[in-house]
Structure 1
Amino acid sequence: MGEGHELSAAAAFDALGAAYERAFAASPAHHDSLRRLGEQLAPGSRVLDVGSGTGRPTAQTLADAGHRVLGVDVSPVMTKIAARQVPNAVFRCADIRTLPLDGADAEAGAGGESGAGFDAVCAYFSLLQMPRGDQSRLLHRFRRSLKPGGRLVVATVPLDVEDVGVVFMGQPVRVTSFGAEEFTALVKEAGFAIEWQQSSLFTPDHPEGEPEPHLFLHCRRL
């Protein structure tokens, strides 16, 4: 694939649409992670789902459990699918890097308490098309958007790659990630204690799906 032909994250996931859900939504490790998070949240918690995609499984699982979920995704197509599939959550089409998280909190139903923050932030595989500097800055923003002791759940593909062109489910994209040790160090440096982690290998249910290493981190804001 020649340089310059890669799609933006929005264009790539617009093209994938519901196919992404079919490929990834059955991940046992993802569902295990959501189950673990659900056991830690108080009833009616405020949750920010970063890179919410089609709303399944993350937003739907949490909203069905009675939590107030705000999903943010850069893809207009994904956002429309999510709003249709998970009507008991709120979805915004926006770039999380520039979205004011205090305003997002209010939209999710935070009430009148100024700076109340989120009880949890979920970022399942949503940092992979961002430069390393943006990933680090976002982790710090997530910490600031959380209540004291709030939860961060983040998942990534733990490979040491930077701005590499790949074909993902037929779509040419550029990806950036960190090795597992470097990523966990980045999360700790942003002000989180890692309380649980799980590594797994998952093959997406797609004709072009290949086995991927996945790393899930459950963290608490210090």
Structure 2
Amino acid sequence: MADGDRPAAAVAFDAIGDAYERAFAGSAAHRASLARLLGGLAPHSRILDVGSGTGRPTAETLASAGHEVLGVDVSPVMVELASRRVPGASFRQADIRETPLGEGDFDAVCVYFSLLQMSREEQRSVVARLAGALRPGGHLVLATVPLDVEDVGAVFMGQEVRVTSFGPESFRALVAGAGLVVEDEDDTVFTPAHSGAVPEPHLFLHCRREPVPPVH
């Protein structure tokens, strides 16, 4: 926790605000990932966007395609920005680690770079819970910075943060352990558009919850 009882991610992203959108808006891989997800969704799908930020591009792209989108973010500043910028989606300030999730509530879940300030055990738990919140056959898209680091101090867009992640193979194992099948992936390198930025490895995994086999 930081700033009293507020999660560290809330403090950092309240301060970063819409500068985050400007820094990452040029990610062609993120937009390609959304296009791939859209290609597999039935009309009017229900989608959870975890760490929804300013709502763009994820919630905006999905809502504009006619889907029902709920964005959850721990930062009240981000939730306020998203609510104004993407009126076609719904947004809620909440910590996904503590948010109740019903079994099979969603057709798809998006998690774009929103695990990095959680511990490894929290990441495993959250991904497993999100997998359970998918209907059988539902889609889970995960994006992360695939580095083998644990509770490492870093400065991100001017904010001091603690970062934890997994190397690529360990991250794939985490996904498999949650009962998900990886159907597609994209490894890329992206340099955010802000001062002092350096190239970052990005890993996008498109996964599905195993469908329930038919009863004969």
TM-score in terms of structure 1 length: 0.91
Q: Indicate the residue corresponding to 1:133 in structure 2.
A: 121
1:197 to 169, 177, 185: 185
Aligned to 1:48: 48
Aligned counterpart, 2:136: 148
Aligned length: 206
- Asked whether the 8 Å contact 1:170–1:208 carries over to 2, the reply is no
Amino acid at match of 2:139: R
C-alpha separation in 1, matches of 2:101 and 2:132: 9
Instruction: Give, in whole Å, the separation in 1 of the partners of 2:128 and 2:191.
Output: 31
What is the percentage of aligned positions where both structures have the same residue?
Answer: 65
- Preserved CA contact (<8 Å) 1:201 1:214: yes
Unaligned runs of 5+ in 2: 211-216
1:83 is paired with a residue whose SS is: helix
Cα distance in 1, alignment partners of residues 193 and 151 from structure 2: 25
- Aligned match of 2:159: 171
1:57-68 map, 5 Å: 57-68=57-68
Q: How many Å apart are 1:64 and its aligned residue?
A: 0.3
Match of 1:186 in 2: 174
Partner SS for 2:92: strand
**How do 1:31-110 residues align onto structure 2 when only pairs under 5 Å count?**
31-102=31-102
The offset of 1:184, in angstroms, is: 0.5
- String of CA shifts for 1:179-204, please: whole Å, max 9, x gaps: 00100111011100000000000000
Number of the residue aligned with 2:208:
220
User: 1: CA distance between counterparts of 2:26 and 2:193?
Assistant: 9
Per-residue displacement from partner, 1:134-173 (whole Å, max 9, x unpaired)?
0000111011100000000000000000000100011100
1:102-147 deviations in whole A, cap 9, x for unaligned? Answer: 3xxxxxxxxxxxx551000000000000000000001110111000
Q: CA RMSD in A?
A: 1.3
| Partner AA of 2:194 in structure 1 | H
Q: Which residue of 2 aligns with 1:160?
A: 148
Provide, for residues 24-59 of structure 1, a one-character-per-residue CA deviation record: whole Å limited to 9, x for no partner. Answer: 122000000000000000110000000000000000
List runs of 5+ in structure 1 lacking aligned partners.
103-114
Alignment-mate amino acid for residue 167 of structure 2: G
* Counterpart position of 2:214: none
- In 1, distance between residues paired with 2:131 and 2:94? 19
Q: Does 1:207 align with 2:209?
A: no
Q: What is the alpha-carbon distance in structure 1 between the residues aligned to residue 28 and residue 44 of structure 2?
A: 25
Question: Which of structure 1's runs of 4+ aligned residues deviate more than 3 A?
Answer: none
